[in-house]
Structure 1
């Protein structure tokens, strides 16, 4: 395994996302869940089947989990830059 591939894989598995990425994930999840609920309800009414409704919503929720749950690099585009640590002086 090459070093760059290994480094990229470790960065992906580390799980860092920034505050803007968290906001983006929240907005994607809200929109997708509402859209999936409306779509699955309409299709379920058209087919007169509750199992179709829950099936479509379940598939949509699973796809949404694949999109928002892993810490994709697109969710860490604005990393927080911390101030350098101050050297503490012993109490006198």
Structure 2
């Protein structure tokens, strides 16, 4: 029960879960299709796919310890010295050139229409 409550998965574990779930669902979908095709029964397709979905949920949904083996090493936060003068803030802003804001075609169209 502790596995279901902790929910800690690292980035490598997320990639593994994505690959496992995709692979298992595709595999059981193909097996279900061919089973239903050979038996000419839609019920066998549904049963095989339901079993595959249950196995995929059992493998991928809990945060198993195998998905949390590669903990990221975070860079420590750098503390910048704060200045009490407001003049230095104005000087920093004036030295930085302003670049035009890049927007997508959808943003451009939405500005025109709305």
Give the structure-2-normalised TM-score. Answer: 0.64
**Gapped runs of 5+ residues in structure 1?**
1-8
Larger Rg: 2
Query: What's 1:3 paired with?
Result: none
How far 1:84 moved relative to its partner? 3.1
Quick check: 49-58 or 75-84, which moved more?
75-84
Query: What's 2:76 paired with?
Result: 84
Quick check: 80-89 or 30-39, which moved more?
80-89
Note the alpha carbon deviations across 1:21-60, whole angstroms, 9 max, x for none: 0111111111111110110111111111001101110111
Query: What's 2:18 paired with?
Result: 26
Query: What's 1:5 paired with?
Result: none
How many equivalent residue pairs?
82
Aligned with residue 53 of structure 2, among 32, 43, 61: 61
Give secondary structure in 2 for the equivalent of 1:80.
Answer: coil
**Gapped runs of 5+ residues in structure 2?**
85-114
Give the structure-1-normalised TM-score. Answer: 0.78
**Does 1 or 2 have the higher relative contact order (CA < 8 Å, sep 6+)?**
1
How far 1:87 moved relative to its partner? 5.1
Query: What's 1:73 paired with?
Result: 65
Query: What's 1:48 paired with?
Result: 40
